[in-house]
Amino acid sequence: MAIKTNQMPFKESFSEFYTKVKSSLDDGTFAKLTLAKTIGNSELMNIYVRPIMDDALLKLELKFKFQQEEIIEIHTIENAFPRLLEFINNPFLSAILFTTEFDLTYKLNKKRAVSLVEQFPTFGNANEVLLEYLATKK
């Protein structure tokens, strides 16, 4: 388990974190990405991210989970970054990248200092069957 604390502004540090997301998509270890731990009582509770095929291209489905509804957006891998960045620090204080090699948690504390915590992987597979299964559980 590695803990790395970073005094970079959260936008720069989230960019570093998202590089790991893209790497896991490239090397086939990506399982899922979740934005969680909101500030206060937010209507938006989570954002779940998973890869999908759209027009024969690998893209990302962003599922915005609100208290009363869900909204789905489809983005290219590059365009998903600025869309997700809008929600870091408002309302989300954490993002968790689940891969078959490790889980990486991006956290902002009350002073908005960033920490990255690497842990043992939650998921052993990143195959299509698992992704389909996870989609049905959301």
At residue 82, does pLDDT exceed 70? yes
pLDDT, averaged across the chain? 83
At residue 6, does pLDDT exceed 60? no
Angle between helix 10-26 and 77-85 (nearest 10): 150
At residue 121, does pLDDT exceed 90? yes
8 A C-beta contact, residue 48 and residue 34: yes
Q: Where are the domains of the chain?
A: 13-104+122-137
Question: pTM here?
Answer: 0.84
Q: Which of 1-5, 72-76, 113-117 has the lowest mean pLDDT?
A: 1-5
Least Cα distance to 38 among 104, 87, 98, 106 occurs for: 87
User: pLDDT digit string (tens) for 25-65?
Assistant: 877 789 999 999 877 777 899 999 999 877 767 789 999 99
At residue 135, does pLDDT exceed 50? no
